[in-house]
Amino acid sequence: MRPFFLFARRFFIPCGALVSSTLAASFSNVNEQKHHSILKSIGRTFSDKSMGGKEASMSPPPFDYDPFDSLRKNNFSDEEFKRCFRYFDSQKQGSWTREDFRRFLNALFSNKKRPYCILSDLIEQYFCETDFNQDQKIDFDEFFSAWKKTIKCAVKPVSALVIVDVQNDFISGSLALHSCPANHQGEEVVPVINQVIREVNFDVVAYTYDWHPLNHISFYENRHLRKSLPESPISADKANILDTVVFVGSSGVNGGVEQVLWPAHCIQKTPGADLHRDLIRVDNAIHVYKGTNPEIDSYSAFWDNQKLSKTSLDDQLKERFVTDVYVVGLATDVCVASTAMHAVENNYRTVLIEDACRGVNEKEIEVKRTKLNESGCIFVDSNVVPGMVSGEDRRPEVARGMFVENLKAIGHYNPH
Ligand SMILES: [Zn+2]
């Protein structure tokens, strides 16, 4: 899957960033420096005809009518899908030309009726993937099979906010982020997350907790309790805080267990394991406790680090028909990144809200950011989240994974 996303990501170009500061702001998923380098690379892209630069320099015009509104209002009935199909059928021949298909993509992938730019190569790729019988036009059945799930998800996503480990020990306690190499202030995520909770109507909110027993493998103070393997980069008795040790695995674990040593933190039922006092508690939320097995750490809120046992999070999200997972909290390069990666692996459209996260190590944050991006997770600032959750801001890069999964499920995916 990864090479595919690498390939696909090249084709989503925020046209507006070139022509409109308003739309540029909607791509605030990059910091200023990255933003400039992206703009530069877009400049290169536009001058390259092989990337479809010619037409990409013209931003598709905004449209007045959103043909997907009535699909949403009528709960995606088959009749509404037919009406939607007819809307783009300019020749009234019961099929779409390439131009009809392009108009469909522009309307679907838009932000408040302003289309995102999708380069012609990708439009062609989508067209070929949708045109099952290869007759160079899209009939209703092809449209319906290929796009039903993706449209539904883009227009009416079911969104969960997963708040990772906003616990006292990571903010002011034994593993406070301000003492870690990046010198981040963990507390800064609290007002941002609270604002997101107040402003955005999430279908589901989940809180995760690092929740360790006293004899947990990740504690520096416990390094003498277990034997390290000869191939460990450093033996347990010589290790310092933040060193990685390979311990002899306990029963059920094949081989050694690689473990970063952290100061003892988030011990079950201690004040350090409580959520920050100012963090808003949402009623009927999901609460996930991880890292409870003394022998295996668990950065992700879905699986432990050895992927031997899963928490209830995935089942609880699936029970609630969640399609989109927004990840926030602490720490960006550890538990937030692992949770986001597993959300992608579990086929959720995954979004990391960057200004609602703080991390341990800047270099590692960059490494994780690249890996997550390649896997299909996108990074945004909290100010764009209301539009995305409401289905008004429909981004092509988050829809791609679901489209491909759908094609695979119906047996029509053929990577070229
Ligand atoms: Zn921990």
Catalytic residue among 89, 165, 169, 381: 165
| Dist. CA 299 → ligand 1 center (Å) | 7
The mean pLDDT value for 28-40 works out to 36
Alpha carbon distances (Å) from 75 to 152, 196, 403:
9, 26, 20
As a whole number, mean pLDDT of residues 76-94 equals 95
The yes-or-no answer on residue 314 being catalytic is: no
**Would you say residue 12 has pLDDT above 50?**
yes
Residue 75 DSSP label: T
One-letter identity of residue 215:
N
Please give the distance, rounded to the nearest whole angstrom, from the Cα atom of residue 192 to the centre of ligand 1: 23
Q: Ligand 1 centre and the CA of 9: distance in Å? A: 34
Q: What's the pLDDT band for 236 if we cut at 50, 70, 90?
A: confident
User: Is 3.40.50.1110 the CATH classification of the domain at 159-210+280-390?
Assistant: no
| Residue 329, helix vs strand vs coil | strand
Q: Compute, in angstroms, the gap from residue 218 CA to the centroid of ligand 1.
A: 7
Mean pLDDT of 106-134: 93
If you measure from the C-alpha of residue 136 to the centroid of ligand 1, how many angstroms do you get, rounded to a whole number?
55
What CATH architecture is 2-156+397-409? Answer: Orthogonal Bundle (1.10)
Higher pLDDT, 208 or 16: 208
At 294 the three-state DSSP class reads: coil
What is the 325 CA–ligand 1 centroid distance (Å)?
22
Per-residue model confidence (pLDDT) at position 237: 87
pLDDT classification of 394: cutoffs 50, 70, 90: very high
pLDDT of residue 64: 84
Domain ranges for the chain: 2-156+397-409, 159-210+280-390
Backbone torsions φ then ψ of 104, nearest 5 degrees: -60, -50
Instruction: State which amino acid sits at residue 70.
Output: S
CA of 15 to the centre of ligand 1 (A): 42
pLDDT at residue 416 in the model: 63
Marked catalytic residue, from 15, 180, 335, 377: 335
Task: Say yes or no to pLDDT of 151 above 90.
Answer: yes
**What average pLDDT does the chain have?**
86
- Look at residues 21, 8, 102 and name the one whose alpha carbon lies nearest to residue 60: 102
Average pLDDT of the segment spanning 232-251? 89
Is the pLDDT assigned to residue 174 strictly greater than 50? yes
DSSP structural state of residue 303 = B
CA of 295 to the centre of ligand 1 (A): 12
20, 58 Cβ separation under 8 angstroms: no
Q: Is 290 a catalytic residue?
A: yes
In this prediction, residue 33 carries a pLDDT of 39
In the predicted structure, residue 327 carries a pLDDT above the cut 60: yes
Report the pLDDT averaged over residues 149-169. Answer: 97
Confidence of residue 61 (pLDDT cuts 50, 70, 90): confident
Give the DSSP letter of residue 53. H
221-227 mean pLDDT: 93
Task: Tell me how crowded residue 200 is: count the other CB atoms within 10 A of its CB.
Answer: 19
Residue 384 in this model has a pLDDT that exceeds 90:
yes
Interval between CA 336 and ligand 1 midpoint (Å): 12
Q: What is the pLDDT of residue 252?
A: 67
- Which residues 6+ apart lie within 8 Å of 89 measured at CB? 95, 96, 100
Tens of pLDDT along 260-276?
999 999 999 999 999 99
pLDDT reported for residue 288: 98
The predicted structure's pLDDT at residue 63:
83
pLDDT at res. 254: 72
Binned at pLDDT 50, 70 and 90, residue 58 comes out as low
Amino acid at 65: Y
52-56, 187-191, 242-246, 407-411: least confident range? 52-56
Mean pLDDT of 147-151: 95
Length of the chain: 416
- For the ranges 52-56, 65-69, 403-407, which has the lowest average pLDDT? 52-56
Identify the pLDDT of residue 19.
33
Query: Given pLDDT bands bounded at 50, 70 and 90, which one contains residue 383?
Result: very high
Burial of 262 (0-12, 13-18, 19+ CB in 10 A): buried
Contacts of 136 (CB under 8 A, 6+ apart): 98
Q: Residue 344: name the closest of 329, 324, 328, 358 by CA.
A: 324
Which secondary-structure segment (H or E) carries 23? helix 21-26
Whole-number Å distance, alpha carbon 210 to ligand 1 midpoint, is 5
Catalytically annotated residue among 266, 290, 304, 357: 290
- The rounded distance, in Å, linking the Cα atoms of 118 and 15 is 9
Q: Tokens at residue 377, please?
A: 């997770």
Distance between Cα 260 and ligand 1 center (Å): 10
The two three-digit tokens of residue 218, written as one number: 């990740």
Is 113 known to be catalytic?
A: no
**So what's the pLDDT on residue 224?**
92
Burial (CB count <10 Å: 0-12, 13-18, 19+), residue 310: middle
Question: Averaged over 201-212, what is the pLDDT?
Answer: 98
What separation in Å is there between the alpha carbon of 223 and the centre of ligand 1? Answer: 14
